[in-house]
RNA sequence: GCACCGGUGGUCUAGUGGUAUGACAAGGGCCUUCCAAGCCCUUAACACGGGUUCGAAUCCCGUCCGGUGCACCA
């Protein structure tokens, strides 16, 4: 695999050749926003296409598209309105920002100050005489302000209805869950995917494209019964590098390579379903050009888990920014559906029939109020309630002719007939179950960047250094380049003809007739075009063209009519 | 957000107060029978705003962007 490149060179190439552009650069730009140029868009689309092929096509996890602006209620229920914001204290002396809740936790016995109102946090900071960790000044006049990572907006005129730009695509799937469960005819498990943009108003994003304020996610929400697990056997032999909590907490702990099957067997990954998606992710990353030596799956430490996650494994790639998170496979349990059920009052459970109906005996009382009313007057209502309770809890009390209950310290005796006591059989055929959610969620921008870095290579051809982007053909921005050997003697027309033929066959091709042939090969090496088709004088004679391979620079001749097949075999066969 | 350093054509770069150097790239032409060859021509920059000065890429202030450290990062 290729050497680790200089970040400068990669970023420079990405900008110069049309992969990535800083957004609104002519107005000075704003950090955290990047545009995709033509090649970047093509690469990203190819990566998304391959992701869809994996989940939507091969697994049947159908895709939906939901709005990027969400009503306030959605994010109150999801916990983002509270949990996604931090109270920041700024030192009046040096201006440095700190998490106010962390300062409070460090200097008092309070164990969880997250979620305390900012006024209270400021009070505690002042009362405890907490010093600024940076300059030592006392923080008794520190301003404590809520900083929510969600972008806010207003829906409609005025300020009555608040909306948020979604901080993750997931909630769109959860709030549509009732309709989705009907679509899937109420049968678990099923998966729903979504690809789209999400927004986080990061405090101070740096690291170029690695931390964005507007970014793209591809997410799968896999809904299952608590006991359902996906069988890992299709990926049991996939080798993965794992970095579990235990190894991270051990000073000598290191990530280790194992197979998905062994990881489940050894209990390293507790959830078989999570392990399955780790395996699928590993396969997918390798197929789009992530270097397996620079890929690992790291388990979240307990204190870094999101408010909704009970366990989480992050796919991480090693880049010049260090190890960066490119996806998370989180066990969200029933957190989201439970919260939306609670806040909306809607039923979010899925009816699950038991394998066999459960029959049990139930004891009930249906007191005859026309008897109790005249006999006990105002106390009748309370007596009836007490009888119902007693029928459920102590059915044996109804075995005689009379039954006694106590209401407000007063004992009453009622004839068993008037109590309307009954034993009956109840058949329970199933129950509403809140599905458990396993969420593999991919950060597309970081993946695109990682693919570029991992593909970037420099080698030497005929004593000349060249830059070559060794991206897998299936995600390369172009399938092939088409060149006339020289721009005269009618070679251009032949080349144009071939270009057109390839386009009509659905191939992404680029024609280039400018400069010497060697220069054009280098240009396309640099942007990762896997094949070049060169029209030369023999083409006029015998109808063959030269194909030239990006990685090896090998050349071979094929008939004009076989170009399409030949390109397809390279692109689909991955070289 | 703080501190320090930096920002000159697409890219890299020279330039310590007098309107910007060079290379590569790009476009046009000539040439060219397979890996950045050559010749001619062309396009193209002082991050933005303000100040000092007769005059600012150069000095000062603010902003933006980048790097590094601190802080933040579900």
What are the tens digits of pLDDT across the range A9-28?
A: 888 889 889 999 888 888 88
Q: Is the pLDDT of residue A60 over 80?
A: yes
Positions 86-145 in A, CB within 7 angstroms of strand B: 86, 90, 94-99, 102, 133-134
Q: Is the pLDDT of residue A270 over 50?
A: yes
In which band, very low, low, confident or very high, does the pLDDT at A91 lie, cut at 50, 70 and 90? low
Interatomic CA distance for residues A534 and A560, integer angstroms: 11
3-class SS string, A65-81: CCCCEEEHHHHHHCCHH
On the question of a cis peptide bond just before residue A189, with omega within 30 degrees of 0, the verdict is yes
What is the percent of chain A with per-residue pLDDT over 90, rounded to a whole number? 50
What average pLDDT does the segment A106-114 reach?
Answer: 65
Taken in order A210, A211, A213, A217, the sign of the CA dihedral is positive
What average pLDDT does the segment A313-330 reach?
Answer: 92
Strand partners, A456: A469
CATH 3.30.930.10 location in chain A:
7-84+149-336+438-444
End-to-end CA distance of chain A: 15
List bases, strand B, within 7 Å of protein CB.
1-2, 7, 10-12, 25-28, 31-37, 47-48, 63-68, 70-74
pLDDT of A238 reads 97
Asked if strand B contacts A83 at the CB level, meaning under 7 A, the answer is yes
CATH architecture observed for domain A85-148:
2-Layer Sandwich (3.30)
In which band, very low, low, confident or very high, does the pLDDT at A376 lie, cut at 50, 70 and 90? confident
Interatomic CA distance for residues A458 and A5, integer angstroms: 9
> Under 8 Å CB-to-CB from A568, ≥6 apart: which residues?
none
pLDDT of A1 reads 46
If you ran DSSP here, which 8-state letter would residue A397 be given?
Answer: G
CATH 3.40.50.800 location in chain A:
478-571
Strand partners, A97: A90
Residue A542 CB-half CA count within 13 A: 7
Two structure tokens written together for A365: 């009382």
Give the residue from A22, A82, A425 showing the smallest Cα distance to A205: A22
Positions 476-505 in A, CB within 7 angstroms of strand B: 485-488
If you ran DSSP here, which 8-state letter would residue A443 be given?
Answer: E
pLDDT of A575 reads 44
pLDDT of A417 reads 76
> Strand A436-443 and strand A555-559: pairing?
unpaired
Residue A531 CB-half CA count within 13 A: 28
Question: If 0-12 CB within 10 Å is exposed, 13-18 middle and 19+ buried, where does residue A266 land?
Answer: exposed
pLDDT of A150 reads 86
pLDDT of A174 reads 95
Summary count for chain A: helices (H), strands (E): 20, 28
The more confidently predicted of residues A410 and A235 is A235
pLDDT single digits (tens) A133-170: 655 666 666 667 667 788 888 888 766 688 899 999 99
In which band, very low, low, confident or very high, does the pLDDT at A221 lie, cut at 50, 70 and 90? very high
Two structure tokens written together for A356: 């066999």
Q: How is domain A7-84+149-336+438-444 classified at the CATH fold level? A: BirA Bifunctional Protein; domain 2 (3.30.930)
SS3 A326: strand
Q: Is the pLDDT of residue A547 over 90?
A: yes
Q: Is the pLDDT of residue A352 over 90?
A: no
Using the structure, give the distance in angstroms from the CA atom of A17 to the C1' atom of B43, rounded to a whole number. Answer: 19
Computed over every residue of chain A, the mean pLDDT equals 86
Using the structure, give the distance in angstroms from the CA atom of A95 to the C1' atom of B59, rounded to a whole number. Answer: 29
Q: Which nucleotide is the nearest neighbour of A516, by CA and C1'?
A: B32
Range in A84-88, A236-240, A333-337, A399-403 with the lowest mean pLDDT: A84-88
The more confidently predicted of residues A71 and A366 is A71
pLDDT of A117 reads 67
Interatomic CA distance for residues A16 and A23, integer angstroms: 14
Residue A519 CB-half CA count within 13 A: 7
Asked if strand B contacts A521 at the CB level, meaning under 7 A, the answer is yes
Greatest C-alpha distance within chain A: 116
What average pLDDT does the segment A81-86 reach?
Answer: 70
pLDDT single digits (tens) A477-495: 999 999 999 988 889 999 9
> Under 8 Å CB-to-CB from A314, ≥6 apart: which residues?
A297, A298, A299, A300, A325, A326, A327, A328, A329
Q: Is the pLDDT of residue A116 over 80?
A: no
Q: Is the pLDDT of residue A89 over 80?
A: no
pLDDT single digits (tens) A186-216: 888 999 999 999 999 887 787 778 889 999 9
Q: Is the pLDDT of residue A223 over 60?
A: yes
> Under 8 Å CB-to-CB from A555, ≥6 apart: which residues?
A546, A547, A548, A549
How many other β-carbons are positioned within 10 Å of the β-carbon of residue A391? 23
pLDDT single digits (tens) A170-185: 999 999 999 999 999 8
* Residue A395: its H or E element: none
Interatomic CA distance for residues A140 and A151, integer angstroms: 30
pLDDT of A470 reads 94
Interatomic CA distance for residues A394 and A357, integer angstroms: 25
What average pLDDT does the segment A256-261 reach?
Answer: 97
Q: Is the pLDDT of residue A56 over 60?
A: yes
Using the structure, give the distance in angstroms from the CA atom of A534 to the C1' atom of B41, rounded to a whole number. Answer: 29
Using the structure, give the distance in angstroms from the CA atom of A28 to the C1' atom of B47, rounded to a whole number. Answer: 7
Tokens 């235990």 identify what position?
A246
Contact by Cβ (8 Å): A475, A289: yes
Interatomic CA distance for residues A364 and A147, integer angstroms: 55
Phi, psi of A234 (to 5 degrees): -60, -20
Using the structure, give the distance in angstroms from the CA atom of A517 to the C1' atom of B27, rounded to a whole number. Answer: 17
In which band, very low, low, confident or very high, does the pLDDT at A365 lie, cut at 50, 70 and 90? confident
Q: Which nucleotide is the nearest neighbour of A522, by CA and C1'?
A: B36
Give the residue from A184, A13, A163, A7 showing the smallest Cα distance to A80: A163
How many other β-carbons are positioned within 10 Å of the β-carbon of residue A438? 26
Asked if strand B contacts A400 at the CB level, meaning under 7 A, the answer is no
CATH assignment, A478-571: 3.40.50.800
The more confidently predicted of residues A357 and A444 is A444
Tokens 């939901």 identify what position?
A66
3-class SS string, A27-68: HCCCCCCEEECHHHHHHHHHHHHHHHHHHHHCCCCEECCCCC
Question: If 0-12 CB within 10 Å is exposed, 13-18 middle and 19+ buried, where does residue A348 land?
Answer: buried
Q: Is the pLDDT of residue A2 over 70?
A: no
Contact by Cβ (8 Å): A111, A52: no
Two structure tokens written together for A92: 């009046």
Question: If 0-12 CB within 10 Å is exposed, 13-18 middle and 19+ buried, where does residue A305 land?
Answer: middle
CATH 3.30.40.230 location in chain A:
85-148
pLDDT of A303 reads 75
């Amino acid at each position: 695999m290729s050497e680790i490149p200089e970040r400068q060179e990669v970023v420079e190439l990405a900008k110069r050749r049309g992969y990535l552009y800083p957004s609104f650069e002519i107005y000075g730009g704003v950090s955290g926003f990047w545009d995709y140029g033509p090649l970047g868009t093509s690469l990203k689309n190819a990566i998304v296409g391959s992701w869809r092929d994996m989940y939507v096509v091969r697994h049947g996890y159908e895709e939906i598209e939901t709005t990027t602006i969400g009503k306030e209620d959605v994010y109150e229920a999801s916990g983002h309105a509270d949990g996604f914001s931090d109270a920041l204290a700024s030192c009046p002396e040096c201006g440095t920002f700190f998490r106010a809740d962390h300062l409070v936790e460090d200097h008092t016995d309070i164990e969880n100050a997250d979620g305390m109102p900012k006024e209270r946090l400021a009070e505690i900071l002042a009362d405890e005489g907490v010093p600024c960790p940076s300059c030592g000044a006392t923080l008794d006049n520190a301003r404590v302000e809520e900083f929510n990572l969600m972008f806010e907006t207003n829906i409609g005129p005025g300020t009555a209805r608040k909306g948020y730009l979604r901080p993750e695509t997931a909630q769109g799937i959860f709030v549509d869950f009732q309709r989705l469960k009907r679509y899937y005819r109420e049968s678990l498990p099923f998966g729903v995917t979504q690809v789209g943009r999400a927004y986080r108003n990061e405090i101070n994003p740096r690291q170029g494209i690695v931390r964005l304020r507007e970014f793209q996610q591809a997410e799968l929400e896999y809904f299952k019964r608590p006991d359902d697990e996906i069988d890992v056997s299709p990926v049991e032999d996939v080798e993965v590098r794992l970095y579990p909590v235990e190894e991270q907490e051990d000073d000598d702990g290191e990530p280790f390579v194992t197979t998905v099957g062994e990881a489940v067997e050894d209990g390293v990954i507790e959830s078989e379903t999570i392990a399955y998606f780790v395996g699928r992710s590993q396969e997918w990353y390798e197929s789009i050009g992530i270097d397996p030596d620079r890929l690992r799956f790291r388990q979240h430490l307990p204190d870094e888990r999101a408010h909704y996650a009970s366990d989480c494994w992050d796919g991480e790639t090693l880049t010049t920014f260090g190890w960066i998170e490119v996806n998370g496979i989180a066990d969200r349990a029933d957190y989201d559906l439970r919260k939306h059920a609670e806040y909306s009052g809607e039923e979010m459970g899925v009816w699950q029939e038991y394998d066999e109906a459960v029959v049990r005996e139930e004891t009930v009382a249906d007191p005859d109020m026309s008897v109790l009313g005249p006999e006990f007057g105002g106390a009748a209502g309370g007596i009836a309630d007490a009888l119902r309770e007693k029928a459920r809890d102590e059915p044996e009390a109804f075995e005689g002719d009379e039954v006694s209950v106590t209401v407000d310290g007063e004992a009453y005796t009622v004839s068993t007939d008037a109590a309307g006591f009954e034993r009956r059989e109840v058949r329970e055929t199933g129950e509403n179950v809140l599905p458990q959610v396993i969420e593999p969620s991919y950060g597309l921008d970081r993946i695109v960047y990682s693919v570029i870095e991992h593909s970037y290579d420099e080698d030497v051809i005929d004593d000349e250094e060249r830059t070559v982007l060794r991206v897998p053909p299936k995600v390369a921005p172009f399938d092939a380049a088409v060149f006339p050997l020289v721009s005269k003697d009618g070679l251009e027309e032949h080349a144009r003809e071939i270009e057109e033929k390839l386009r009509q066959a659905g191939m992404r091709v680029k024609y280039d007739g400018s400069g010497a042939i060697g220069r054009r090969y280098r240009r396309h090496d640099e942007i990762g075009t896997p094949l070049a088709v060169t029209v030369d004088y023999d083409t006029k004679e015998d109808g063959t063209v030269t194909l030239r391979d990006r990685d090896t620079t090998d050349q071979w001749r094929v008939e004009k009519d076989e170009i399409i097949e030949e390109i397809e075999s390279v692109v689909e066969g991955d070289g």
